[in-house]
Structure 1
Amino acid sequence: MSRQHDRSVPEALSLQGWQRLSPWAIGLLLVTTSVSLVRQHMPLLAGAGAGLAMIERVGLRETALGGLTLLLVAALASLLYYRRFRFRLDGDVLIIQKGLFEHREFKVAARHVQHIAVHQPAYMRPFGVVQWEVETLAGESSSISLPGIHRELAEALGQGLKGRQEAPPDAESSDESVDAANVRAPVIRFAITPGALILHGLTSRSIYVIAAMLSPLARPLERWVHDHLPHLDLRGWLPPSPALAIGAGVLALVILLALLAVLAAWWRFHGYVLREGDGRQVQASGLFTRQEQALTLSRLQVVEWVQTGLGRLLGRGYLICHQFGAMGGGGAAESRRFLVPGLAANQGKELTATLWPGCRMEAPLARVSRLYWRVVFLRLGVGLTAALLLLVGLLGPAGLSPMLWGGMVASLPLVAAGVAQLRWMATGWAREGAYLRIRQGLWGQRTSIFPLTHLIAISVQWSWLQRRRGVVTLHLALANGGLTLPYLEEREALLLANQLLASVEAAQAA
């Protein structure tokens, strides 16, 4: 047996005994809990003035004593939680025992592990401690976290679960194959550059998320401007025309949002590196909080190539790799996604071919029926007309000039036709061997690529209009949600559905 394999045996055996969190985890748990509580409740208290009112009523000394008492209780609770938290690796099963007042035990089999993540905030780096998280096929609801362990132990746990997950049942291999597996070094598939990181911040959807987060500040800012603007002498640097002043204000707001989006991209994806080795893709990134995520290719279900409208103009996009249980939304799911940012179009194709061997994304996409354009046009036309009638009811016919009303009425069909054309042109599909590509979108586009064998369910839908026109709609159920191919020719859709079902049945029989 090789020397490298001999060194790996004690590491695996050491995990069979009960392991505890790092002693630094006591303070880290206290800091993490305190930061979480402050983040949740401080804006409410500070915004309503309740914090200052409480200090004035109770007194500064009493408030400090109360805070110190709470801190002491939290420290004792963290110490008790640390003493009752332990874990070990029993064969191919990870066993975790924890609980503050209620003792609980969790068991995770290596074959059920689909996602391992390692997080290291800035305050953990000096101590060499990380947050280790494992997720099973059930998704985020089944994730289990080790809040503070040494990096070496985290790497040993990941290697232990990975080795047992990928080991064959007979587990009888030669020394040469073991040495080859151990010596194989990870290959860097992608490393982001500063320019690509800036472009990702500008072309991602972060700018819309930031705008939504800052929207509650619009009303206080409006009151501040109303109260203080008349007392300020702004004639020297404001444009003389009100239209120019409003345009300059909108431009400044857009620049501010773009700057914040770029800063958010630097915060999340600084130093992004994607490595491949032993059937896994491992990414590491983060400016202050370093994050590592491992994606097992055998668990990969769907790959999405996403381009926003501005990203299409600049030739930039990003890849999202989906596994089972990855259809949740919100900020937590956003941070858990295995995402490759700042890719050019050719880089996206190369990485997709690496993840899905044999898929080159070169076959042209087939369009859906032109009837889909008419349906979208009619729906938008009806919706815009109803909105215009509602506006007339609120303002009255004399609320706007006749010329403006006429312009709005004349623009309704143009807007509906333009949106319908963009929607129809963005929708398409193509089959490349054992893979299927489906593209959806409007100005931005999202292309889903997956093997035919990863289809979970398929349904064929006819409406009364579709039956008359000889078209159908296909609904495909995948691990990350559903996809829709609207208004396909009936013969073509039924042939595609039969091919998909035949591929799934052949894979299950094999």
Structure 2
Amino acid sequence: MVAEQPIEPSRLQDEFDTLLSDYSTWRMASPFALLFFFGSRLAMVSKALFQQVTNFVPIVGVTSLAVINTELTWYQGILIVVALILIIVFIVAVLAYRRFRFRITNESIAVKSGILRITQTDVRWERVRAVNLERGPIERALGLAQISLDTAGSAAAEVQVPAIKLQLAELIRAKVSMETTVSDTIGDEVSNNGQQMYRMDLIPLVKASFCTQGTLAMMAAALGAFFWLGATLYNMLDPDENSDNEAFLHQAFNVAEQYYLTFADKIEQITSIPITQSWLGMTIPGILTVFMLITVLFLARALYFSVTNYDLQLLRRNNALSTVRGLFTKKRTNVKLERVQSVSLKMNVREIGLKLCRLTAKQSMSGKEHMLSLPSVPTSVRDEIVELAALEAGSQLRLDPKTQSFQPISIVYFWQMFIGLIIVPFLVVLITSLFSDFSWLQWVWLGFLCGWVPICATVSLVRWRKAGYVVDLYSMISKSGLLGYTLDMGKFKKVQRVRIEQSFIQRFTGKSTLTVSYATTNIVVPFLARARAIQLHDYISHVITVRNSEWH
């Protein structure tokens, strides 16, 4: 590990002034910044496609038209569409790079960006709350870094400058924090009084990857894309008018049938179970196909998690916490304890079984690059971080769904959820029964009463039993969940506003909903007794008033 020497303020200012002579006028970023612009634009396109399955429909439609009206194969059509997307993204990235300019002075940093519309952003150094560095393999080899600056109340990183000299990036961060030191690599940036609180080795990494989120969403997206593809082909192809289209459809169905039968035969040969002799047995290949798809998507998601969180380290230096992670791209995030506004904890079923949790400490309403995010870490790490954040605010509360003495929510909350889940299906079935005379409606009523109603009752009961809140003089925690848990903890001295709301049902039952708003999140406690809600509202408002008066 590279030894570090703390930077004295006078020496820091001298080194910063020396570099300013090269950056005090508008200048372009390094040519290697083109990789950043290309990667960010490609990430935007990929995110838009995978987060909204319907965005695939125009692409599938164009590909289908190209294949049907030309002699291209499906493989060639898909490759051409992918190549066109990459070319368009590259052209946009080149234009964005050519337009990008930045300027650094002793008072502020300014950035010009955009293609058709040029936007200039000026940020004074006293407004900067955090400076984060990110370095990929190419940047580490060339001694470069990407910096992102976060200001109070910003919805995302307000300024990003790619591919600048590492020395300049370190000096910018040191200027903001006045306690950061210079080093050769991000992985070695630990001061002499730094403390390693946690390091995710191989076994914890495997456990955490097993608990990764998003597998079911990826499965839904894959099935959705498949059905959209089928619907698009069905609408575009008319077998009655075009014999070629009819042959294409028959060929597609024959390929699917051949795969299904071949798979069924293989299973029958391996297990000696005559699954091809009955319709019930023939469902087994379909179930196994879905299971294999889920497994492949799960492994892909776990691999991505392992790459992005490789060698995760949690470091503490005085009143600041930082994380370093990544296999190919080392990413570092810093937060100061006194600036943390809220701490969130989430646990799914797998994490509960393995005694792990996901922890997020937010210091403003900003993007992930300015949040302390710890995926699937041991509960001991959770307790240590929450203790640091809570004690900084003077609170003794702990973010533990099991041991904390949470106050329960009124039973009226259960009945509202239960009635809200069953009322619309009930009205649909009832109206259909009144104006129709279908023989199968009795089976619909049977499924509704014996299936849907018990499921809704169970879901509402579990959510009501898991809901709760706890407060002390300095902070507040709300708890919710269905299969897992979600806990949100906020400091009263960071509250922006607090309000009491009443719905019709709440007015009738004498209950209220208390909403405590932060820049990072909202803590909502539903169906509190009216007197209790007013008591909490008045106390938190008093804390806000005292805090604001201290600024004058």
The reply on whether 1:509 has 2:513 as its aligned counterpart is no
The reply on whether 1:158 has 2:169 as its aligned counterpart is no
Which 5+ residue runs of structure 1 have no aligned equivalent?
Answer: 58-65, 166-181, 327-332
Contact in 2 for aligned 1:320/1:339 (Cα 8 Å): yes
Partner of 1:149: 164
Contact in 1 for aligned 2:511/2:530 (Cα 8 Å): yes
CA gap of 1:99–1:202, structure 2 versus 1, over 3 A, is: closer
Contact in 1 for aligned 2:322/2:372 (Cα 8 Å): no
The reply on whether 1:348 has 2:356 as its aligned counterpart is no
CA gap of 1:396–1:188, structure 2 versus 1, over 3 A, is: farther
Q: Residues 79-94 of structure 1 correspond to what in structure 2 (within 5 A)?
A: 81=99, 85-91=101-107, 93-94=108-109
Deviation at 1:262, TM superposition (A): 0.8
Deviation at 1:100, TM superposition (A): 7.8
Residue 25 of structure 1 is aligned with which of 8, 24, 32? 32
Contact in 2 for aligned 1:284/1:291 (Cα 8 Å): yes
The SS at the match of 1:356 is helix
Q: Distance in 2 between matches of 1:70 and 1:254?
A: 32
Deviation at 1:159, TM superposition (A): 0.9
Partner of 2:405: 364
Task: Give TM-score, length-normalised by structure 2.
Answer: 0.73
Higher mean alpha-carbon deviation, 240-249 vs 417-426, is at 240-249
The reply on whether 1:385 has 2:426 as its aligned counterpart is yes
The reply on whether 1:121 has 2:136 as its aligned counterpart is yes
Contact in 1 for aligned 2:497/2:516 (Cα 8 Å): yes
What amino acid maps onto 2:257 in structure 1?
P
Q: Residues 144-223 of structure 1 correspond to what in structure 2 (within 5 A)?
A: 144-163=159-178, 184-219=192-227, 220=229
The SS at the match of 1:276 is strand
Contact in 2 for aligned 1:267/1:286 (Cα 8 Å): yes
The reply on whether 1:230 has 2:264 as its aligned counterpart is no
Q: Residues 399-410 of structure 1 correspond to what in structure 2 (within 5 A)?
A: 399=440, 402=443, 406-410=446-450
The SS at the match of 2:178 is helix
The SS at the match of 2:454 is helix
CA gap of 1:218–1:337, structure 2 versus 1, over 3 A, is: farther
Deviations 1:429-477 (A, max 9, x none): 1113411111122223211111112221111123343334332211221
What amino acid maps onto 1:374 in structure 2?
W
Deviation at 1:139, TM superposition (A): 1.7
Contact in 1 for aligned 2:215/2:301 (Cα 8 Å): yes
Contact in 1 for aligned 2:500/2:513 (Cα 8 Å): yes
Q: Distance in 1 between matches of 2:33 and 2:462?
A: 55
Contact in 2 for aligned 1:45/1:51 (Cα 8 Å): no
Deviations 1:116-175 (A, max 9, x none): 33222344332222221112224245611112112222111111122299xxxxxxxxxx
RMSD of Structure 2 on Structure 1 (CA): 4.1
Contact in 2 for aligned 1:458/1:475 (Cα 8 Å): yes
CA gap of 1:433–1:15, structure 2 versus 1, over 3 A, is: farther
The SS at the match of 1:479 is coil
Higher mean alpha-carbon deviation, 237-246 vs 471-480, is at 237-246
Q: Distance in 2 between matches of 1:408 and 1:321?
A: 43
Q: Distance in 2 between matches of 1:56 and 1:86?
A: 49
Deviation at 1:228, TM superposition (A): 0.9
Deviation at 1:304, TM superposition (A): 0.5
The reply on whether 1:486 has 2:501 as its aligned counterpart is no
Q: Residues 224-303 of structure 1 correspond to what in structure 2 (within 5 A)?
A: 226-231=253-258, 233=262, 234-238=264-268, 240=275, 241-303=281-343
Contact in 2 for aligned 1:21/1:149 (Cα 8 Å): no
The reply on whether 1:10 has 2:8 as its aligned counterpart is no
Deviation at 1:368, TM superposition (A): 1.0
Q: Distance in 1 between matches of 2:212 and 2:123?
A: 36
Contact in 2 for aligned 1:24/1:127 (Cα 8 Å): no
Q: Distance in 1 between matches of 2:458 and 2:18?
A: 65
CA gap of 1:394–1:405, structure 2 versus 1, over 3 A, is: same
Q: Residues 45-56 of structure 1 correspond to what in structure 2 (within 5 A)?
A: 48-49=62-63
Contact in 2 for aligned 1:97/1:103 (Cα 8 Å): yes
Higher mean alpha-carbon deviation, 256-265 vs 212-221, is at 212-221
Paired-residue identity, %: 15
- Count of aligned positions: 474
The SS at the match of 1:17 is helix
Q: Distance in 1 between matches of 2:408 and 2:218?
A: 35
Contact in 1 for aligned 2:134/2:329 (Cα 8 Å): yes
Task: Give TM-score, length-normalised by structure 1.
Answer: 0.78
Deviation at 1:291, TM superposition (A): 1.8
Q: Distance in 2 between matches of 1:245 and 1:150?
A: 56
Deviations 1:277-306 (A, max 9, x none): 243222221222322222233322111011
Q: Distance in 2 between matches of 1:228 and 1:55?
A: 21
Contact in 2 for aligned 1:352/1:359 (Cα 8 Å): no
Contact in 2 for aligned 1:275/1:282 (Cα 8 Å): yes
Deviation at 1:375, TM superposition (A): 1.7
